[in-house]
Chains A and B, each alone.
Chain A
Amino acid sequence: MDKNQSGYKVFIEEIGSISAFTWKFIKAFFNRKQEWKEIFRQCYIIGYQSMPLVGITAFIMGLVLTVQSRPTLEEFGAVSYLPAMVALSIVREIGPVVTALICAGKIGSSIGAELGSMRVTEQIDAMEVSGTNPFRYLVVTRVAACIFMLPVLVVVADSISLYASYLGVNLKGVLTWNLYYHQVFESLSFSDILPAYIKTYFFGLAIGIIGCYKGYYSNKGTEGVGLAANSAVVVSSLVVFIMDLIAVQIADMLGYT
């Protein structure tokens, strides 16, 4: 077999085993037996870890986007659309995707490294032989926490971004908060918010699953841990984009445009 073909085979096998891993998660997730305490702890950790970075990035994005869009709109004499336009791009696309990418970097790598080092140092085996199901205790809790927390982080990011955009509008020109607020929510309809919100759950699922998968099945040796963390970030970022693409298509088909 030549090299390309075997690389292709590895790729297909990887997709297969990630799907099997996801299915295993789904079965365990809808089971009545859950490690609730650990899920809450993970939610706290994940939210706490990512909030500052998500907040700062969202602020800068809202501001920059507003400042940069102004000249173009000025050219068309449509500056009054500035808040509406920026709000739409933030809520529909930039907020969810950028937050997910930051989380892929921050959460994905830390889950990958943590589970990877637990695998390498036999901690996962130790948990298993002590009669605790490590899949339920380590994987289900982390993925569930990602699914629960990502939408929260996105809502926070959107709000901060919108506020930053308000400041951006006021850098040149004057717009009261009330008017800005009114314009933004006038322009946003339910069909903008719903699909964007739903996809964040799937982003959370992807980040959690891939981080856990890479760590849980990481290879022996210390380089296995680094590799797990690294490929968790790369693969989950890629999957976030692919999911985004699919989400747009689906929303489009359902008429949420």
Chain B
Amino acid sequence: MKEESVVVTQNLIKSFENNHVLKGFNMDLQKGENLVVLGKSGSGKSVLIKCMVGLLYPDNGSVKVFGKEVADLSVNELDDLRIRIGFLFQSSALYDSMTVRENLEFPLKRHQPTLTQKELDDLVMEALANVGLERAADLMPSELSGGMRKRIGLARTLILKPEIMLYDEPTTGLDPITSREISELILEVQKNYKTSSIIITHDMDCARTVANRVIILINGERYAMGTFEELMKSDDPQLKPFFAAL
């Protein structure tokens, strides 16, 4: 194989007591691609990407990131790995006791402590400019709208220039225009930083815009995989509902 896999899951199994969420899930993420994961609400999409950063551990099976088994990493190795991965939370997860600026400075100050205040300011303003929100620098997260929070969350995640981005429903709950802007941002991230990304979404417009490849998660397994067009043309009754709105 010519391409290089940055994330590979094999036979991934995860349950919460009697709730069997993932039942042997296989996937791989190629370097530089945008992989969209579709699935119904509660199908375990968030659980899947949480296993990739060690927020949850699989009951069985393997999750390899950059060729290393996540469950076997020591605390320090895991921290080093996490710096290379950006995770955009479904809820944005901005620190509400800090201003937008402090939110963005937080990862920088902790991982690049030698930066001067001037360099910090420049990086923060650059990151805010990328998401078109320079004017929000001194607001508190509670003063932001949902779409602004998503974008600030994205800026905070991108500020360390991660090699892998995990987007958990980046457009959910946003109006079509803002969703469109976020989709464009995801494409720009791919182009500018050569990032490999997994995008979890229900939003078929977003999926169509950003996907190089789509995986459909049904019943805890990979039900189908292919390009967006291939899956859209499929006659499979299980896949039809996903594309019904288009």
- The interface centre, meaning the residue of A118, A126, A129 with most chain B CB atoms within 10 A of its CB, is A129
A214 to chain B, nearest CB (A): 18
Contacts of A5 in B (CB 8 A): none
**Other-chain residue from A123, A130, A131 in contact with B96 (beta carbon distance below 8 A):** A123
Given A129-B85, A131-B107, verify A121-B96 contact (CB < 8 Å).
yes
Are B87 and A131 in contact (CB-based, < 8 A)? no
Given A114-B97, A123-B96, A125-B55, A130 contacting B89 (CB threshold 8 A): no
Q: Are A131 and B89 in contact (CB under 8 A)?
A: no
Pair A131/B79 contact, Cβ less than 8 Å: yes
Q: Could you list which residues of chain B lie within 8 angstroms of chain A, going by C-beta atoms?
A: 50, 53, 55, 75, 79-80, 82-83, 85, 87, 89-91, 93-97, 106-107, 110-111, 160
How far is A87 from B230 in the complex, measured between Cα atoms in Å? 84
Cβ-defined contact, A131 with B93, below 8 A:
no
CB distance from A245 to the nearest CB of B (A): 36
Contacts of A132 in B (CB 8 A): 106-107, 110
Q: Could you say which residues of chain A place their CB within 8 Å of the CB of B160?
A: 130
Contact among B75, B90, B97, B106 with A130 in the assembled complex (CB-CB below 8 Å):
B106
- A130 and B82 in contact, given A122-B89, A125-B55 (Cβ under 8 angstroms): yes
Q: Kindly state the separation between the CA atoms of A140 and B241 in the bound complex, as whole angstroms.
A: 49
Q: In the complex, which residues 85-143 of chain A have their Cβ closer than 8 Å to any Cβ of chain B?
A: 114, 117-118, 121-123, 125-133
Cβ distance B146 to chain A, nearest Cβ, rounded Å? 13
**Contact between A131 and B55 (Cβ–Cβ < 8 Å)?**
no
Q: Which residues of A contact B90 (CB under 8 A)?
A: 122
- The complex places the Cα of A117 from the Cα of B50 at a distance, in Å, of 20
- Residues on the A chain within 8 Å of B82, using CB: 128-131
Shortest beta-carbon distance from A145 to chain B in Å: 15
Whether A123 contacts B85 by the Cβ 8 Å rule is: no
A122 contacts across to B, CB distance below 8 A:
89-91, 93
| Residue pair A129, B53 in contact (C-beta under 8 Å) | yes
B89 CB contact (under 8 Å) in A114, A118, A126, A133: A126
Collect the chain B residues with CB atoms within 8 Å of residue A114's CB.
97
Tell me the nearest residue of chain B to A37, going by C-beta.
B109
Instruction: Report A-chain residues with C-beta under 8 Å of the C-beta of B94.
Output: 123
Residue with the greatest number of chain B CB neighbours at <10 A, chosen from A122, A127, A128, A133: A122
Residues of B within 8 A of A131 (CB): 79-80, 82-83, 107, 110-111
Q: Which chain A residues numbered 227 to 242 have a C-beta less than 8 Å away from chain B?
A: none
With A and B bound together, what is the CA distance between A27 and B83 in angstroms?
25
Residues from chain B with a CB closer than 8 A to the CB of A123 are: 93-96
Give the CA-CA distance A117 to B142 in the complex, in Å: 13
* Cα A121 to Cα B146 with chains together (Å): 13
Contact A121 B93 (CB under 8 A): yes
Known contacts A118-B95, A121-B96, A130-B87; 6 additional CB pairs below 8 A are A117-B96, A122-B89, A123-B93, A126-B87, A130-B160, A131-B110
Q: How far is the CA of A121 from the CA of B80 in the complex (A)?
A: 24
Residues of B within 8 A of A127 (CB): 95
A114 to B98, CA, bound (A): 13
* Minimum distance in angstroms from A44 CB to a CB of chain B: 14
A5–B160 CA distance with the chains assembled, in angstroms: 51
Residues of A within 8 A of B111 (CB): 131
CA distance A63 to B89 in the complex (A): 54
Give 8 nearest A-B pairs by CB, closest first.
Answer: A126-B93, A122-B93, A131-B79, A131-B82, A129-B87, A131-B83, A129-B53, A130-B107
Q: A170 → chain B, closest Cβ, in Å?
A: 46
Tell me, in angstroms, the Cα distance from A117 to B141 when the chains sit together: 14
Which residues of the partner chain A approach B79 to less than 8 Å between Cβ atoms?
Answer: 131, 133
Please report which residues of chain A, range 172-197, place their CB below 8 angstroms from some CB of chain B when the two chains form the complex.
none
Most buried by B among A121, A122, A130, A131: A130
Min CB distance A227 to B, Å, is 19
Chain B nearest CB, measured from A130 CB (Å): 5
Contacts of B95 in A (CB 8 A): 118, 123, 126-127
Docked CA distance A125–B53 (Å):
10
When chains A and B are docked, how far (Å) is the Cα of A117 from the Cα of B95? 10
Which residue in chain B gives the minimum CB-CB distance to A114? B97
- Sample (29) of A-B pairs whose CB atoms are under 8 Å apart: A118-B95, A118-B96, A122-B90, A122-B91, A122-B93, A123-B94, A123-B95, A125-B50, A125-B55, A125-B89, A126-B87, A126-B89, A126-B95, A128-B55, A128-B82, A129-B53, A129-B55, A130-B82, A130-B83, A130-B87, A130-B106, A130-B107, A130-B110, A131-B82, A131-B107, A131-B111, A132-B106, A132-B107, A133-B75
What is the distance, in angstroms, from B235's C-beta to the closest C-beta of chain A?
39
Q: How far is the CA of A123 from the CA of B103 in the complex (A)?
A: 11
The CA of A118 and the CA of B96, in the complex, are separated in Å by 8
